[in-house]
Amino acid sequence: MFRDPAIFLALRTQVLPVLASYPRINIWQAGCATGEEVYSLAILLKEEGLYDRTRIYATDINDVALARAEEGVFSLRNLKDFSVNYLKAGGRHSLSDYYHAAYGHASMDRSLRENMIFARHNLASDGMFCEVNMIICRNVLIYFDRLLQNRVLRLFRDSLVRQGFLCLGSRESLQFSDIVEDFGAIDADLRLYRKTLISTGAS
């Protein structure tokens, strides 16, 4: 959880204050895997007072991973590292406030799951299903070739509201992509972008 704490700190300080101006917030966590990042995001939103008006759409192509993510149970042996990351990401409490420990596992508090929707989605073939204010898709595009990367990035662009936010993984970038001119970098090193006011929408 809270892997690469700097990006979560940037979301807390640079993105969530902007999203706070919206009456409703939709976030797409694409390629959510087993859910560590989804729960990290929910904690972030809760601490910033935004979770009650947020809906997180967590998707993945792997049904087994989705089931584990929805369950929200993680091994306690990872919690020490998770807690360190949480504090580096600007955590305001203790990570233990958000889970219940038993039998070597940590079960995330049910309140964190209230506004999550888990769904199967294939980035390679499925279309957009919702207009969102932010998309987080980290360390997924690195497994795609250039053609498929551009297909997915166009899908992300078209799914974002005007001036919506896109967060990619540390080894991914919009540079040399088909949609590079449709986004401005908030922090290029952290791969954090914002859709520009004027977008061609060309495919």
Q: pLDDT value at position 200?
A: 45
User: Which residues contact residue 43 at a Cβ distance below 8 angstroms, ignoring those fewer than 6 apart?
Assistant: 86, 91, 95, 98, 112
Q: How confident is residue 175, by pLDDT bands cut at 50, 70 and 90? A: confident
Q: Which of 10-14, 55-59, 85-89, 174-178 has the lowest mean pLDDT?
A: 174-178
Q: Give the residue, 202 or 22, on which the prediction is more confident.
A: 22
Average of pLDDT values for 131-155? 94
**What stretches of 123-159 adopt beta strand conformation (E)?**
132-137
Of 141, 146, 143, 148, the residue nearest 126 (C-alpha): 148
The two three-digit tokens of residue 97, written as one number: 């406030």
**Degrees to nearest 5, angle at CA 43 with 149 and 14:** 60
Q: pLDDT value at position 202?
A: 42
Of 25, 28, 24, the residue nearest 37 (C-alpha): 28
CB 158 within 8 A of CB 183: no
Identify the DSSP state of 98.
Answer: G
Over residues 67-85, the pLDDT tens digits come to 999 999 999 999 999 999 9
Distances (CA, A) of 126 to 62, 120, 122, 188: 14, 10, 5, 28
CB 123 within 8 A of CB 30: yes
- What integer best gives the mean pLDDT of the chain? 93
Average of pLDDT values for 190-203? 71
Q: pLDDT value at position 197?
A: 61
Q: How confident is residue 198, by pLDDT bands cut at 50, 70 and 90? A: low
Of 32, 42, 53, 34, the residue nearest 12 (C-alpha): 42
Q: Where are the domains of the chain?
A: 5-195
Q: Are strands 160-168 and 132-137 parallel, antiparallel or unpaired?
A: parallel
CATH code at 5-195: 3.40.50.150
